[in-house]
Chain A
Amino acid sequence: MIAITTRKIAFVVSCLCFAAVLLAGVRDHVAAPSDAPSQTIISNAPLHPVIIRPGPETPRILTTQTNYAGEIARASCSSCHTTTTPNRNTASSAQLLKFHQGMTYAHGNQSCLNCHNETDYDSLRLANGSSLPYADVMKLCGQCHGPQLRDYEMGLHGGMNGYWDRTRGPRTRNNCVDCHDPHNPAYPVVQPVLPPKDRIAVPRKSEHGSVKLCEKTAASICNVLSSLHPTLFA
């Protein structure tokens, strides 16, 4: 007969407690984050929006008249164009005798009325003849420039600002006509900024002017040097 004493109970309880602590330690160890390469984490957090900058407002032409408030009056396109007969053959402002003079046009050999709507000059025209507000101009561009539209939709064409991680903030994207003039869409030629001045890449003309150096050195050595230091011989 084993007498159950308080001492024995205390011993058993303390053993159980010790075992529990050990087990908890092992479990924590197993659950600890490993140093293995991080796996793909797809966040389900709500995404901030991608804001595409709106297309142009419906154009209004400055006139020589002033309104009752003394401001220069602006006329809609249709206020003149309702009184004229549309001409499908016009493909450049150079062919016009009045208005739109001096506009550079270099966008294929298209009729104005391929994009401008002859039934409503305050809107654009899709290829199927339907009307399109100026603000939705990207849809019009995308009719012909499919690869660019596809890339744009994937986020691979056009400048942007804001957040790469849209769980943290929104992104603003350029509209086609922010960068491309619809009448002359090729990106303009520009003067580059900030020429580098760092020592490695700067040709030191006074000492190593390419002509001077090549005059002094045999042609074969000069070739080797110029392949090693292309920037000196630029």
Chain B
Amino acid sequence: MNTETAPLESRDWTRRDALKGIGATLGVAAFAKALAPLTEWTQDLSVDQFLQKHYKELSPMDLAIVLARLEKETKEQYGADVSIKDYKAQPGVKFGYALNLSICIGCRKCAEACHIENNHDRPSAQSYIRVFEMQKGSLDMEKGNAHYDHPVPQKDKFYMPVQCHHCDHPPCVSVCPVEATWKEPDGIVVVDYNWCIGCRYCEAACPYHARRFNWTKPQIPAEEINPDQSYLSNRIRPQGVMEKCTFCLHRTRNGKLPACLEACPTGARVFGNLLDPNSEIRKVLAEKRVFVLKEELGLKPNFFYFFDV
């Protein structure tokens, strides 16, 4: 008996010990890796925000709590007292927008108004509107130049502002892997900024280049922040999410005109309810030579361009 047990007590490492050790090491490493995202947890991301449900699954009570939290976070991070509301679509309303290319002079006042109204990042001069300077004789926006910096209008050019067309068949909505963007009953395509994962598929899918990505945390001085905000539109977006034109739903769902229209010095923009036969937008469709951009894609945009003559 003694001769059999002695070697067992005094033996060196066996293969079984080595395998156990390797297994344990791998296990610890895998566990550490699994928890690694926690080390990247930033102060900007609260636990409540991390656990927040999709906008459409929020009960009125949940939503009230979320809005109050967002207001508090804006105060903490930007030092501004803001009011964040949630405005619902009105029944019997479908929004449409038309732009008179005969009148637009390319001054980019609309883009500036959007920048201010929608609390865009100041250093990147972000805006949902891009104004293309176009050679007369072509309607190909891909050949337009958005970076002109000379007095306008130039004689041989025309100017075509492009923003979200709020398509009836929005490709940006179809491609979203997490359903963070959808079309509302009044036709507005919106984003739940707290549900978006920032994959930018929608940006690639949009043929109008209408979506923007927040590469950085938006920087806005407290005194420049527009305090009239809503959850689905102009509240300050977090870093790493998509954003887009919402037809200023915090204004238009309250009956007001969008900021870009009010800023237009030439009156090139017409906004209204497509379901109201007496609205200005319906008169454009009835009386003017109207076209939509990239009609061949079949996306059925609710943004129209027209000419005077």
Contacts and interface: CB of A to CB of B under 8 A. Distances in A.
Given A165-B255, A194-B125, A201 B147 contact: yes
Nearest to A195: B149
Interface in B79-132: 91-94, 100, 103, 105-109, 111-112, 115, 123-127, 130-131
A46 interface: no
B257 A202 contact: no
Contacts of B257: 160-164, 171
Given A159-B264, A230-B143, A197 B124 contact: yes
Contacts of A189: 151-153
A162 B256 CA distance: 6
Contacts of A108: none
Contacts of B254: 168
Nearest to B186: A38
B75 interface: no
Interface string B153-187: 10000000000000000000000000000000100
A164 B283 contact: no
Nearest to B141: A230
A109 B254 CA distance: 47
Contacts of A22: none
Interface residues of A, number: 45
Interface in B278-308: 278-280, 283-284, 287-288, 308
Interface size class of B (residues with CB under 8 A): 35 or more
B193 interface: no
A42 interface: yes
Interface in A124-161: 147, 151, 154-161
Interface stretch (B9-17, B19-27, B232-240, B267-275): B267-275
Given A41-B92, A168-B255, A230-B142, A157 B267 contact: yes
B67 interface: no
Which among B103, B109, B123, B255 has the greatest number of chain A C-beta atoms within 10 A?
Answer: B255
Interface of B (DSSP majority class): loop
Interface string B207-240: 0010010010000000000000000000000000
A41 B131 CA distance: 35
Given A156-B100, A193-B107, A164 B152 contact: no
B70 interface: no
B147 A161 contact: no
Contacts of B115: 194
A36 to B, nearest CB: 12
A155 B280 contact: yes
A159 B110 CA distance: 12
Which among B142, B267, B270, B279 has the greatest number of chain A C-beta atoms within 10 A?
Answer: B267
Identify the 9 closest CB pairs spanning chains A and B, nearest first.
Answer: A41-B92, A168-B255, A165-B255, A155-B280, A159-B267, A158-B267, A194-B112, A192-B108, A197-B125
Given A187-B105, A198-B212, 4 more contacts: A40-B276, A42-B277, A158-B267, A194-B127
7 contacts: A39-B92, A154-B287, A156-B284, A164-B271, A192-B131, A195-B147, A231-B145
